[in-house]
Amino acid sequence: QVQLQQSGPGLVKPSQTLSLTCAISGDSVSSSSAAWNWIRQSPSRGLEWLGRTYYRSKWYNDYAVFVKSRTTINPDTSKNQFSLQLNSVIPEDTAVYYCARDSLLTGDLAFDIWGQGTMVTVSS
């Protein structure tokens, strides 16, 4: 079955870059019927979709406008994974970060497979 395995640091200093990776097994980051998303969850802001990358004859990215200027989501086809980079982090970026798949089989932007979550704290 499809699984997503997240990795990355749990503590990031303010103004630095948050970097997380999501390794895919059982599917392909280059699949033409899936998209690969990052979502975060905090008590104060709830669930927030950050963005996604997907392949439809070429690579596309969509980002939430509130993080677009600070965010990059990249696929890595050689390792079958994708990553999140969030620059210039502030304490309000503290959250549990999830990677998630949305598949054409379950409708657009319905997240059927999730990573285990990574608690990221922004603090000096």
Partner 1 sequence: QSALTQPASVSGSPGQSITISCTGTSSDVGGYNYVSWYQQHPGKAPKLMIYDVSNRPSGVSNRFSGSKSGNTASLTISGLQAEDEADYYCSSYTSSSPLVVFGGGTKLTVL
Tell me which residues touch partner 1 (CB under 8 A): 46-50, 52, 62-66, 68, 98, 106-112, 114-117
Minimum distance, C-beta of residue 108 to partner 1, in the bound complex (Å): 6
Minimum distance, C-beta of residue 35 to partner 1, in the bound complex (Å): 10
Q: Which amino acid is at 39?
A: I
Edge-first strand listing for the sheet containing 18-25: 3-7, 18-25, 81-86, 71-76
Tell me whether residue 12 or residue 50 sits nearer to partner 1 (CB atom). 50
Residue 72 is encoded by which pair of tokens? 């990059």
Residue 81 is encoded by which pair of tokens? 């994974």
Tell me whether residue 68 or residue 79 sits nearer to partner 1 (CB atom). 68
Tell me whether residue 51 or residue 75 sits nearer to partner 1 (CB atom). 51
- What secondary structure does DSSP assign to 15-56, as a single string? TS-EEEEEEEESS-TT-TTEEEEEEEEETTTEEEEEEEEEES
Minimum distance, C-beta of residue 51 to partner 1, in the bound complex (Å): 8
Tell me whether residue 108 or residue 124 sits nearer to partner 1 (CB atom). 108
34-42 and 46-55 strand pairing = antiparallel
Minimum distance, C-beta of residue 62 to partner 1, in the bound complex (Å): 6
